[in-house]
Amino acid sequence: MGLENDYNIGDKAVYHEDGAVFRVEVLASEGDGEFERYRLKVLDVVSQSRLVPIVREVESGEEFDCNQRRNVAFGGMWYLDNR
């Protein structure tokens, strides 16, 4: 069960990581007090990662899992917002 400020199933958000920006829908939210955990579906690709061509390009319709420890910040970490 997620925390109060977590995203819930069906929420729309914007995913950011390494220059990639995707509009996403939350398919699953299984975070806890220590970790954020989501299953996301890409609705629209705003920009690809700056690591392309090292990593492959992402396409609309793709689903992926992301998780990370809460309250830890360093380069390359992803985040969600409502913009």
Q: Residue 37: inside a domain, yes or no?
A: yes
Q: What is the mean pLDDT of residues 36-43?
A: 95
**What's the number of domains the chain is made of?**
1
| Within-domain flag for 1 | no
Specify if 2 maps to a domain.
no
In a domain, 7, yes or no: no
**Residue 27 forms part of a structural domain:** yes
What string of DSSP letters covers 1-70?
A: ---TTS--TT-EEEEEETTEEEEEEEEEE---SSEEEEEEEEEEEEE--TTTTTSPPP-TT-EEEEEEET
Q: What is the mean pLDDT of residues 32-54?
A: 88
Within-domain flag for 44: yes
Higher pLDDT, 55 or 6: 6
Q: Is the pTM for the entire model greater than 0.85? A: no
pLDDT of residue 82: 84
Its domain, for residue 24, covers 12-81
Percent of the chain with pLDDT strictly greater than 70: 87
pLDDT reading at 15 higher than 90: yes
